[in-house]
Amino acid sequence: MIMEKGISSVEVLPSKSSQVTAVKVVVKEPETKQIQRGKRVGFVLVHAGAGYHSESKAKEYKHVCKRACQKAIEKLQAGALATDAVTAALIELEDSPFTNAGLGSNLNLLGEIECDASIMDGKSLNFGAVGALSGIKNPVSVANRLLCEGQKGKLSAGRIPPCFLVGEGAYRWAVDHGIPACPPGIMATRFSLAAFKRNKRKLELAEKVETDLIQLKKRRQSNEKGSRVMCSACGRPPKANDGGKGGDQIELYSPENDSGTLDTVGAVVVDQEGNVAAAVSSGGLALKHPGRVGQAALYGCGCWAENTGAHTPYSTAVSTSGCGEHLVRTILARECSCALQTEDAHQALLETMQNKFIGSPFLANEDGVLGGVIVLRSCRCSAEPESSQEKPTLLVEFLWSHTTESMCVGYMSAQDGKAKTHISRLPPGAVAGQSVAIEGGVCRLESPES
């Protein structure tokens, strides 16, 4: 892999909205070793979520991203399909107790784990997904199996094979196709159980405050003068504003609350032939309603992959993270892929995050729009002008962008000795949900000598 030269700097980009701060960091990397004879090439970019990543856990987040990259590259070097490589990366991310996917996922209101996952193959354009799935250790493995089975064609009696299954039906299908079940007790970790208990206490406190506010309003309306209602939760008179909500807001998804993480995990891959694949997996929002399905399972919302074609000069792969409801209503993965067909990938992604996400009319009533994406696009190009050889080269541009406090990413090519990781954070003064951070780089993958 040959990394394009860049400038290590941060610049503020002009925005159409005064509330949006866009930051561009061009990654400068040293050139790697010469490509080994017969060694296959490829590239992977992964994320451990867009949300809030505490400094105390930074090492763990980076470490799991490194391992995920290595697993994907091992598959690519062995000649595996891009979909198998991206699945391998996701399984590693799901198995980490520090991510909100698979093992250690957020618990729902009933204290249960229900996971969403999806995968898309850029070559065939096939898609596989599961939603609200319990009892399976690696949901992405079920999504990948659905994709593979769907490529085999129709079932008996001409039935159309499913590409998206949910709940008990998804679980039974997985077991019937040889994917081992996992006892529910194993899926929850001490971290996720502790977070569930903290969030339940916050929820109970919030409900008490709201109950006291309702009682206060009723007494005021009935003109019961002289009465004084005290908050049963905090022992103070409850506050009320014009909107009828409590003045003491209790937030589950705030930077100060590391247990309210939004981070879905995902990966995008391009193999030696230029085929792309994308995948995403999530445990969903903390204390979500049982049966809730987020963007990680929905077509065009959680991930997207599409090889170059008659109307697509670039192959593109996208994986999203953040608040599922925001990502679903904006179909962000598909929007990013379409935008990346223009000449300037960075500008296209910036405008998409500004105009199709933060500024989306479908989210006009939201106080803050929370999400993030990783993207790559690739195309065949000629060798470097100064090169005397005419070896085919794959140009890969990779970017990540987020409106959340932070996003942890890792990336690696088949010629790298180890993966590189980074936790991207909004600059000081930027407001989460109203600001956009963008970083990334460019590399050339030269085909190995035969």
What positions carry a catalytic annotation?
Answer: 264
Q: Please give the Cα distance from 166 to 91 (Å, whole number).
A: 19
Q: Tokens for 65, please give them.
A: 């991203």
3-state secondary structure 192-257: HHHHHHHHHHHHHHHHHHHHHHHHHHHHHHCCCCCCCCCCCCCCCCCCCCCCCCCCCCCCCCCCCC
Q: Kindly list the distances between the CA atom of residue 133 and the CA atoms of 282, 302, 415, in Å, as whole numbers in the listed order.
A: 10, 16, 37
The structure tokens 């995990």 sit at 265
Question: Hey, CA dihedral for 141, 143, 147, 152, is it positive or negative?
Answer: positive
- At 14, the amino acid letter reads P
Q: Please give the Cα distance from 330 to 300 (Å, whole number).
A: 9
The structure tokens 């008179």 sit at 237
- At 190, the amino acid letter reads R
CA 418 to chain centre: 22
Asked if residue 8 lies in contact with residue 449, where contact means CB atoms within 8 angstroms, the answer is no
CA dihedral 71, 76, 80, 85 (to 10 degrees): 40
Asked if residue 115 lies in contact with residue 129, where contact means CB atoms within 8 angstroms, the answer is no
Q: What percent helix, strand, coil does the chain show, rounded to 5?
A: 30, 25, 45
Closest CA to 401 of 447, 335, 448, 341: 335
Q: Tokens for 258, please give them.
A: 């590391």
Q: Tokens for 217, please give them.
A: 């309003």
Q: Please give the Cα distance from 366 to 359 (Å, whole number).
A: 10
At residue 385's C-alpha, the angle toward residues 383 and 390, to 5°, is 35
Q: Please give the Cα distance from 146 to 90 (Å, whole number).
A: 16
Q: Is 112 left (phi over 0), alpha (psi -120 to 50) or beta?
A: beta
